[in-house]
Amino acid sequence: MSDHPLPTRWLRLPRLAPARDGGTRRLVVCLVIVIAYALLAIFGPVVTGYNPITTYVQDRLLPPGSLLSNGSVALLGTDQVGRDILGQVFMGARVSMVAGIATLLLAGLIGITVGLLAGYFGGILDSILMRIADIQLAFPSILLAILIAAILGPSFFNLILVLAIANWVVFARVTRSQVLALKNREYVDAARTLGARNLYLIVRTIFPGCVAPLLVVATVEIGHVIVAEASLSFLGLGTPASLPSWGLTISDGRDYLIDAWWISTFPGIALALLVLTLGVLGDTIRDRLDPKLRSL
Amino acid sequence: MIAYVLKRAGFSLFVLWGAVTVVFIALRIVPADPALLILGVDATPDQLAALRERLGLDRPLILQYFSYLQGAVTLDFGDSYRLQRDAMGLVMERLPATGQLALAAVIFAVVVGLALGLVAALRVNTFLDRTISVVSLAFQSLPSFWIGLVLVLVFARALHLLPSGGTGSLAHLVLPALTLSLPFLAILARLTRSGILEVINEGYIQTARSKGFSERVVLFPHAIRNALIPIVTVVGLQFGQVLGGAVIIETVFAWPGVGRVLVESINYRDYNVVQACVVVIAAIFIVINLIVDVTYGFLDPRIRLGARR
Report which of residues B249 and A257 the model is more confident about: B249
Say if residue B141's pLDDT is above 80: yes
What pLDDT score does A99 carry? 93
Q: Give Cα separations from A18 to A6, A168, A291, B157 (angstroms).
A: 20, 31, 14, 48
* Lowest-confidence region among A245-259, B137-151, B200-214, B253-267: B200-214
The conformation of residue A74, written as its DSSP 8-state character, comes to E
Distance CA B198, CA A118 (A): 32
Q: Which of A142, A132, A135 is nearest to A167 (CA)?
A: A142
Q: Give Cα separations from A207 to A3, A119, A176 (angstroms).
A: 15, 11, 10
In the beta sheet, which residues pair with residue A78? A84
Give B20's contacts in chain A (Cβ within 8 Å): none
Q: Residues in chain A whose beta carbon is closer than 8 A to a beta carbon of chain B?
A: 131-132, 134-136, 138-144, 146-148, 150-152, 223, 227, 230-231, 234-237, 247, 250, 254, 257-258, 261, 264, 268, 271-272, 275-276, 278-280, 283, 294-295
- Domains (ranges, CATH) in chain A? 32-47+79-294 (1.10.3720.10)
Distance CA A147, CA B19 (A): 12
pLDDT digits (tens, 9 = 90+) for B270-287: 778 888 888 888 888 888
* Lowest-confidence region among B70-74, B157-161, B199-203: B199-203
Q: Which of B145, B185, B141 is nearest to B165 (CA)?
A: B145
Q: What is the separation, in whole angstroms, between the first and last Cα of chain A?
A: 15
B residues 108..147 contacting A (CB < 8 A): 137-138, 140-146
What pLDDT score does B305 carry? 63
Average pLDDT, integer, range B167-173: 82
Distance CA A292, CA A212 (A): 12
ipTM of the complex model: 0.80
Q: Which percentage of chain B shows pLDDT scores above 90?
A: 6
The conformation of residue A17, written as its DSSP 8-state character, comes to P
pTM: 0.83
What pLDDT score does A19 carry? 45
What pLDDT score does B278 carry? 85
Picking from A127, A147, A163, A227 by the largest number of B CB atoms within 10 A of its own CB, the best residue to mutate is: A147
Q: Which residue of B has its CA nearest to A257?
A: B153
What pLDDT score does A7 carry? 40
Distance CA A235, CA B249 (A): 10
Q: Which of A210, A48, A144 is nearest to B22 (CA)?
A: A144
What pLDDT score does A101 carry? 94
B residues 248..277 contacting A (CB < 8 A): 248, 251, 262-263, 266-267, 274
| pLDDT band with cut points at 50, 70 and 90 for residue B177 | very high
Report, as ranges of residue numbers, the positions in chain A whose pLDDT lies below 50: 1-19
Considering only CB atoms, B149 lies closest to which of A146, A264, A279, namely A264
Distance CA B153, CA B151 (A): 5
Secondary structure of residue B283 in the 3-state scheme: helix
Q: Do B140 and A258 touch (CB under 8 A)?
A: no
Give A231's contacts in chain B (Cβ within 8 Å): 143-145, 248
Q: Which percentage of chain B shows pLDDT scores above 70?
A: 94
What pLDDT score does A171 carry? 92
